[in-house]
Structure 1
């Protein structure tokens, strides 16, 4: 497998074009309504756009991103961008972490510090990890799939050889959002290589077998499924659009930076533990670094395409099917779904379950200390193997 170092270097004319487009925005008229009731708040979006055009320093963000060791690899004919951060400790354990939407590899910068060098944060160096953070196919600097069919299962079939090519015959996996699906697919299709998986989200398409031979649904499971359906009706429009008409949406978002910021920024507010004030948790610079990665790489179309592919290949498990590698689950209170432990145990060997005191969907950015500690605890026994 060919691997080469990589550094981000966005051209000056692309930065100038972005600013020109923001300044030329044709703002949508709207009927007055309470802030955020019908989607993104117009006043907040105007403020964010003005900061993006006039004050946001992409070059400073780029330097920060480039402080992480980045590489490009050819994996089965697919160019994969990834961060490979070596751990500081006597025997760091290999871990692949996968992001989701609307995130990127940038989500994990604070988490990487804590996982790779735990002693610098009051931990023990024996808990250090070698961490690999690939960009999903079509996201950021990873090549978009050349043909249809790139669901979480096919991504897992690329991560396994990527890890082998880096010298890791056995490893752990972690993820939330789309990355949770990839981690589950790794455990399902590559159990000989995956020691265990740690999740902070359960994919919406996950369905264990429920039949005459299975245990009846518990009251907690019935409540979860009812709340999941209610959430999909009121909050799941984005996912339905991604999964059914991604090209229609991509035509707009790839051409309008303010539209892209609205589509992504609203989710960072809605899904985080921010009490309705997004900048209590995420600075404008952090929000715009992530959004700018989508803009400058023109990846929003290929990124949301993965919802289409996952709809065609959902996480459904047959009667009697079990995932062999053990599972740890970190449940954050402001996550977008709240499965009971029994729902996972119908398919998974859940050996660790943590109800977190704070945090939401973007746990690695919101609460990196809590997430890092939980990941360390889960993988500790696997180091001894």
Structure 2
């Protein structure tokens, strides 16, 4: 990547959403034209009407965006141009000068809001049950087309280019030795960084590891039986194949975003339509979020969920975020050939539970592997305490 001194500048970033924008959002929610109830008694047809009606009621009458806005504004935000695109990031340095720099990448349908609960424990561990030696300097970027980052106007901003941009960002911040972390798309980008090996990257932590043997993933994607020369060594591997088969049969949002993202234009016009689409990421996450709107908080609250959806709405990034799926050309869960040190955390309600045997094959320099007792796809957001402990423990040997 080439750039001039003017474009490499790191500028402070501020944002403001007006009362008029929030009033318009509420008016649109209240004017929702509702569909009929689903014809099943479960979530097999997607986000249920009762969940959406309660979400809309709470969103329009009780939810206060200004609460999370205040939390966001209390953090140091910056923006810098990389490869012709403005990249937004939160940069929080620890008071502990020996802290390990760490770049943390969110996924879809996410944003930097996913990481808000882990910032203080990771940067100020002595105030949160850890030692000074556990400290991190955090860099939390918004992916292109997400949140406050620029929206690509041409094709080409896929995981490879984002990974290269993240290496440039860490270099531009003066970090000569750092680690990377990610889940969902963030895990894809983090693994890709580890393959690219930008100067300074010493290892990664992932909560959605890319360890599936290529022959197995290809068969599952195509809906074919496993090749005759492929054997599953244990119950963990058999369970993972079943889970991945279910995922590829039900991630219809990924297929439409990957092929026809512009046909989702209604998501820019209807906040409730946007919410219905963003909620339906995966079976377990939808069930968890639905329970939260039924009054049973289990890690994610109603406000957590609406904080993220409201950011999507206010920044009008539903379509620009969706195009990342159209840019990707690599298998989503397949091993990529990472040889740097890798720490793996396996949460029980993730899309699939990566077997230790596959992790050892995919990551020959595996420095940490742990299966957690609870938590799902949005681990940093849903189970921040467990997530923080995993990051501390998983990357400790790299300090």
TM-score w.r.t. length of structure 2: 0.87
Q: Secondary structure at the match of 1:145?
A: coil
How far apart are 1:270 and its partner, in Å? 2.9
After superposition, residues 137-286 of structure 1 pair within 5 angstroms as: 137-202=144-209, 207-208=213-214, 217-219=232-234, 220-233=236-249, 235-249=250-264, 251-267=265-281, 270-271=284-285, 274=288, 277-278=291-292, 279-280=296-297, 281-286=299-304
Q: Is the 8 A contact 2:38 2:45 kept in 1?
A: no
Q: Secondary structure at the match of 1:132?
A: strand
Larger deviation, residues 186-195 vs 367-376: 186-195
Residue in structure 2 matched with residue 305 of structure 1 by the alignment: 323
After superposition, residues 344-383 of structure 1 pair within 5 angstroms as: 344-348=359-363, 349-383=365-399
How far apart are 1:144 and its partner, in Å? 1.2
CA displacement 1:39-64 (0-9 Å, x = unmatched) = 11212211111221222212222112
Q: Is the 8 A contact 1:85 1:116 kept in 2?
A: yes
How far apart are 1:331 and its partner, in Å? 0.3
What is the CA–CA distance in structure 1 between the aligned matches of 2:128 and 2:33, rounded to whole Å?
Answer: 47
How far apart are 1:154 and its partner, in Å? 0.8
How far apart are 1:20 and its partner, in Å? 1.4
CA displacement 1:122-160 (0-9 Å, x = unmatched) = 110121100000000000110012321211111001000
CA displacement 1:345-369 (0-9 Å, x = unmatched) = 3332222100101111111011111
Compared CA separation, residues 273 and 371, structure 1 to 2 (3 A): farther
What is the CA–CA distance in structure 2 between the aligned matches of 1:59 and 1:169, rounded to whole Å?
Answer: 37
Q: Is the 8 A contact 2:158 2:327 kept in 1?
A: yes
Q: Is the 8 A contact 2:210 2:334 kept in 1?
A: no
> Tell me, which stretches of 5 or more residues in structure 2 are unaligned?
1-7, 219-226
What is the CA–CA distance in structure 1 between the aligned matches of 2:303 and 2:83, rounded to whole Å?
Answer: 36
Larger deviation, residues 126-135 vs 222-231: 222-231
Task: Name the Cα RMSD after superposition.
Answer: 2.5
Q: Secondary structure at the match of 1:198?
A: strand
What is the CA–CA distance in structure 2 between the aligned matches of 1:43 and 1:317, rounded to whole Å?
Answer: 37
What is the CA–CA distance in structure 2 between the aligned matches of 1:20 and 1:317, rounded to whole Å?
Answer: 44
What is the CA–CA distance in structure 1 between the aligned matches of 2:269 and 2:334, rounded to whole Å?
Answer: 39
Residue in structure 2 matched with residue 24 of structure 1 by the alignment: 31
Q: Secondary structure at the match of 1:243?
A: helix
Residue in structure 2 matched with residue 102 of structure 1 by the alignment: 109
Compared CA separation, residues 275 and 303, structure 1 to 2 (3 A): closer
Q: Is the 8 A contact 2:164 2:193 kept in 1?
A: yes
What is the CA–CA distance in structure 1 between the aligned matches of 2:210 and 2:151, rounded to whole Å?
Answer: 22
What is the CA–CA distance in structure 1 between the aligned matches of 2:81 and 2:38, rounded to whole Å?
Answer: 50
Residue of structure 1 aligned with 2:121, choices 111, 114, 126 = 114
Are 1:11 and 2:18 counterparts? yes
What is the CA–CA distance in structure 1 between the aligned matches of 2:255 and 2:386, rounded to whole Å?
Answer: 32
Are 1:89 and 2:105 counterparts? no
Residue in structure 2 matched with residue 339 of structure 1 by the alignment: 354
